[in-house]
Structure 1
Amino acid sequence: MNIKLNEEKGFTLLESLLVLSLASILLVAVFTTLPPAYDNTAVRQAASQLKNDIMLTQQTAISRQQRTKILFHKKEYQLVIGDTVIERPYATGLSIELLTLKDRLEFNEKGHPNAGGKIRVKGHAVYDITVYLGSGRVNVERK
């Protein structure tokens, strides 16, 4: 029976350092791509929230048989439903531009908007929200 006493099992310091340096390079590459992906998600969520708020305002006008409106300001927009005012501040780094829509969007008792037009939500990505005159339908499109 031959037993070798000098044979050791394991990794050398050089091998361990090489593996750790490769792993750290891969982690840095992955985490540097995450912030833009997060920023795109924030813009998409802001556009979705605005679309949902427009539809909520329209549906509330129909169900309560009263006029409702959305007022657009530089740093926020407001939903005005009867005596209730809901403020929605814009997220940091995002802007909302009124392309062809005025600074207010009103819905009558039947849910018809007073005007149609486009709103642009900008950040790292750009989304256009279109409100159609007459039907009040809302469409979101990524640019």
Structure 2
Amino acid sequence: MKNDAPLHRNGFTLVEMLMVLSIWTVLLSITIPLSTSIYREYKEDLFLKQLKTDILSIQQDTMTEGETYSVFLKKDHYEIYNHRLIREVPYPKGWWIETFTSTNKIYFDVNGRIRSPGTFYIRTPTKSYKMVFPFGKGRFYVTER
């Protein structure tokens, strides 16, 4: 008994598969480096926001509670104190903070004014930031250099 039904070939040829794979390879080779640089920038922004939030928090806590809260900038992390260590926050890998003042301590008085004015430089593998605490002011600012 002979089967006279036509033979249907619903697959892809080897050339078509190689073309699709080469297009995917090109697309992936473009997007992976972009995503790592976007991730690095996001990580930098997130750390700077956390540092700013912590400094504003110690300022607010000092004003409301009347006790001195402070941030100590160390070689590979910063520490938040109030008569005792509250929290340590490590810097991202490859980061460091340079202090050009007599102290590496940031603290405020009960009126919210900075008690340790100065300038700190935050260095990342790709960027550099300047954090300034002006004398007699309650606010600080961070600029990219």
Give TM class, smaller chain. Answer: 0.7 to 0.9
How many residues matched? 140
Structure 2: distance between partners of 1:66 and 1:47: 25
1:131 aligns with 2:133: yes
Question: Any idea what the Cα deviations from partners look like across 1:24-74, whole Å, max 9, x if unmatched?
Answer: 121122102222222222222221111111111111110011222211111
Q: Which sections of structure 2, spanning at least 5 residues, go unmatched?
A: 1-5
4+ long deviations beyond 6 Å: none
Higher relative contact order (CA 8 A, sep 6+): 1
1:90 aligns with 2:91: yes
The match for 2:18 is 17
The match for 2:3 is none
Structure 2: distance between partners of 1:139 and 1:27: 39
Percent identity for Structure 1 against Structure 2? 26
Q: Which moved more, 1:99-108 or 1:12-21?
A: 99-108
Displacement of 1:6 = 7.3
Structure 1 contact 100–117 (Cα < 8 Å) conserved: yes
Q: TM (normalized to structure 1)? A: 0.82
Structure 1 contact 70–78 (Cα < 8 Å) conserved: yes
SS of residue paired to 1:26: helix
SS of residue paired to 1:133: coil
Supply the RMSD in Å over aligned alpha carbons.
Answer: 2.3
Q: TM (normalized to structure 2)? A: 0.81
Structure 1 contact 97–119 (Cα < 8 Å) conserved: yes
Structure 1: distance between partners of 2:24 and 2:95: 35
